[in-house]
Amino acid sequence: MISTEQREALIQAAIDARKQSYSPYSKYAVGAALLADNGRFYTGCNVENVSYGLTICAERTAVVKMVSDGVRHIEAIVVCTENAGSPCGACRQVLAEFAGDVPVWLVDANGNGRETSLYTLLPDHFGPEHLTIDD
C-alpha cells in the first residue's frame, strides 16, 4: 500500500520528469515515475527520434532505468501528460512484465487526474505467469 506522502512525491517526480521530455515532433511531453519494491523512485521521459519507430516512451524509460539498477518489481506508477493521457499499449505490456495490479495515477502538469490500476488499463493481461516452460 502506498502512503499519501509517497503518492504525492511520486506525482511530483513524474511532473518533474516530464520537463525533461525530448518531444520536438509530437509536442506531447510525457513523464513517468515508478515506485519500486526497494522504495526508490525511477523516472523517465519520452525521447523522440526523427525516425519515429525509434522513439521511447517515458514509462519504458523509467522501467529500463529500474531494471538496469537490478530492480524487478513496481509497486505504483504515475504518468504525467498535458491532459492526463493514458499509456500506450506497448508501455502497458512492459509495465505488466514488472508489476501486478498496481495503482496507476494519470495526471496533468498540475498533478490533477485520476487513479486507476494496471489491470484496468490492460485487462486480460499476458504476463510471465502465463508461460509454461518445459525443462
How far apart are alpha carbons 107 and 133 in whole angstroms?
39
Q: What is the DSSP-derived secondary structure letter of residue 50?
A: S
How far apart are alpha carbons 82 and 126 in whole angstroms?
29
Q: How many residues appear in the chain?
A: 135
Q: Is 59 a catalytic residue?
A: yes
Q: What is the DSSP-derived secondary structure letter of residue 59?
A: H
Active-site residue identified among 5, 48, 59, 75: 59
Number of Cα atoms under 13 Å in the Cβ half of residue 33: 26
| Residues tagged active-site | 59
